[in-house]
């Protein structure tokens, strides 16, 4: 049975992540995803099998101008890196409640005054065993680097690129970052910040090694991604393909203690130029096992989906997921009329 992944909010990573969670990476992959649509449902109980290659086809990234998730947390940037990275904390996009859960963090605590966040990190997590990082351990230094790079810290981001880092205001409320030991990070805030954890859990808040950026003359993520995630990218040809192999040192296991991911290889193929017929033909002929729908550039429309579902019958099903992007509204309670609690409650 093959899959069409629909993201109602135009976001590539979740089309991919749904696929990885359902078929490759998730400790909960024995249950069918709750967002199944299209009249067909996957088997209620699926025992995951190790090995194999999953071939996915979707829109490419080039038209967005960047694949650097620290610059802009949009679909293509996260789609490029999603299979290869982890976050300190993330949204649980499969739960329906989208609560924030730990990932590279083992746990976190907030001080009674709400101005200090202490993250305890998982021990023994390693970056991919490829140059220039060569499998070194993930530590508190990498969390500090991530926050500072997103913030376009001048010691990390060249001045000529500063304006391109559209997320640089995400962490302006941070007063200091302390590292009592290599597995503990304490982030102290200048004042209460209701969206700090939201920004930490945003899909583009990914952990990457400083070494990868330092070796790039432009100090950007361009055609290479290294992380602590389940797949090591071996080849990337813009708007053509991205091939990734299983990370043999991946730190996550499923509930039975089996090391993840289940897949040996992930192959992403891209269609571009507004012609989705190539993707449809590839899916119908079995050249790819999954399609991504709203993932940037040319998109499969409802007629395309209907055509595929009619021809595939019970051999295909569609899964819808959230985008992982959440809007928030900040209110200045110091100015009328929002200084009136009744007005704020009404809003």
Domains defined along the chain, listed by start: 2-321 (3.40.190.10)
Say what the pLDDT of residue 314 is.
82
Q: Rg of the Cα trace of the chain?
A: 21
Strands (E), the chain: 2-7, 36-37, 53-59, 89-91, 100-102, 105-110, 116-121, 174-181, 184-189, 231-237, 241-246, 265-271, 290-292, 316-321
Q: What is the pLDDT of residue 271?
A: 79
Name the H helices within 60-206. 75-81, 140-150, 196-201
Give the C-alpha separation, 124 to 251, whole Å. Answer: 8
pLDDT at 41: 55
What pLDDT shows up at residue 44?
Answer: 57
Residue 156 burial (CB count, 10 A)? 17
Instruction: Give pLDDT, residue 5.
Output: 47
Q: 101 phi and psi, to 5 degrees? A: -130, 155
Q: Is 57 helix (H, G, I), strand (E, B) or coil?
A: strand
The owner of tokens 């952990």 is 207
Determine phi and psi for 80, rounding to 5 degrees.
Answer: -65, -40
pLDDT of res. 301? 77
Query: Residue 69: exposed, middle, or buried by beta-carbon count in 10 A (0-12, 13-18, 19+)?
Result: buried
CA gap 147, 172 in Å, rounded: 10
Measured in Å, how far apart are the chain's first and last C-alpha atoms? 46
Single pTM value for the model: 0.82
Distance separating alpha carbons of residues 116 and 164, to the nearest angstrom: 29
* pLDDT for position 88: 98
Using a 10 angstrom Cβ sphere, with 0-12 exposed, 13-18 middle and 19 or more buried, the burial of residue 20 is buried
Query: Which residues, in sequence order, are CB contacts of 113 under 8 Å at separation 6+?
Result: none
Tens-of-pLDDT digits for all 347 residues of the chain? Answer: 555 544 332 233 333 333 333 333 333 333 334 444 444 555 556 678 899 999 998 877 776 778 899 997 666 677 889 999 999 999 987 777 889 999 999 999 999 999 999 999 999 999 999 999 999 999 999 999 999 999 999 999 999 999 999 999 999 999 999 999 999 999 999 999 989 999 999 989 999 999 999 999 999 998 899 999 999 999 999 888 999 999 999 999 998 999 999 999 999 998 776 678 888 888 999 999 988 765 445 567 778 888 888 898 888 877 776 655 556 676 778 889 988 989 888 87
Whether the CA torsion 327, 330, 336, 342 is positive or negative: it is positive
**Count of beta carbons in the 10 Å neighbourhood of residue 274:** 9
Q: Distances from the Cα of 56 to the Cαs of 3, 18, 23, 98, 298, in angstroms?
A: 9, 12, 12, 25, 15
The CA dihedral of 14, 20, 21, 27, to the nearest 10 degrees, is -150
Please give the pLDDT value at position 12.
Answer: 32
List the one residue out of 230, 215, 191, 232 whose CA is nearest residue 334. 191
Q: What is the pLDDT of residue 47?
A: 76
């Amino acid at each position: 049975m093959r899959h069409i992944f629909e993201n109602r909010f135009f976001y590539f990573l979740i089309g991919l992540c749904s696929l990885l969670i359902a078929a490759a990476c998730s400790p909960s992959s024995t249950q069918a995803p709750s967002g199944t649509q299209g009249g067909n449902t996957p088997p209620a109980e699926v025992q995951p099998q190790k090995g194999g290659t999953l071939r996915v086809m979707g829109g490419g990234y080039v038209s967005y101008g960047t694949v650097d998730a620290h610059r802009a947390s949009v679909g293509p940037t996260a789609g490029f890196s999603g299979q290869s990275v982890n976050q300190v904390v993330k949204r649980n996009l499969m739960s329906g409640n989208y609560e924030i859960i730990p990932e590279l963090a083992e746990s976190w605590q907030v001080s009674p005054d709400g101005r200090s966040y202490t993250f305890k990190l998982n021990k023994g997590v390693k970056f991919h065993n490829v140059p220039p990082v060569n499998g070194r351990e993930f530590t508190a230094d990498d969390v500090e680097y991530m926050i500072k790079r997103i913030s376009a810290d001048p010691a990390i981001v060249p001045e000529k690129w500063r304006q391109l880092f559209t997320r640089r205001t995400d962490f302006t409320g941070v007063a200091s970052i302390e590292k009592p030991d290599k597995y503990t990070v304490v982030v102290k805030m200048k004042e209460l910040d209701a969206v700090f954890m939201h920004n930490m859990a945003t899909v583009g808040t990914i952990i990457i090694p400083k070494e990868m950026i330092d070796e790039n003359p432009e100090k950007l993520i361009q055609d290479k991604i290294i992380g602590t995630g389940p797949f090591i990218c071996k080849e990337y040809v813009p708007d053509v393909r991205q091939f990734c192999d299983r990370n043999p040192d991946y730190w996550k296991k499923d509930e039975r203690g089996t090391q993840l991911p289940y897949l040996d290889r992930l192959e992403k193929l891209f269609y571009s130029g507004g012609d989705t017929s190539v993707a449809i033909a590839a899916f119908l002929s079995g050249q790819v096992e999954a399609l991504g729908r709203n993932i940037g550039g040319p998109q499969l429309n409802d007629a395309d989906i209907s055509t595929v579902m009619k021809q595939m019958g019970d051999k295909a099903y569609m899964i819808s997921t959230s985008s992982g992007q959440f809007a928030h509204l900040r209110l200045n309670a110091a100015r009328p009329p929002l200084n009136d609690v009744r007005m704020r409650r009404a809003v």
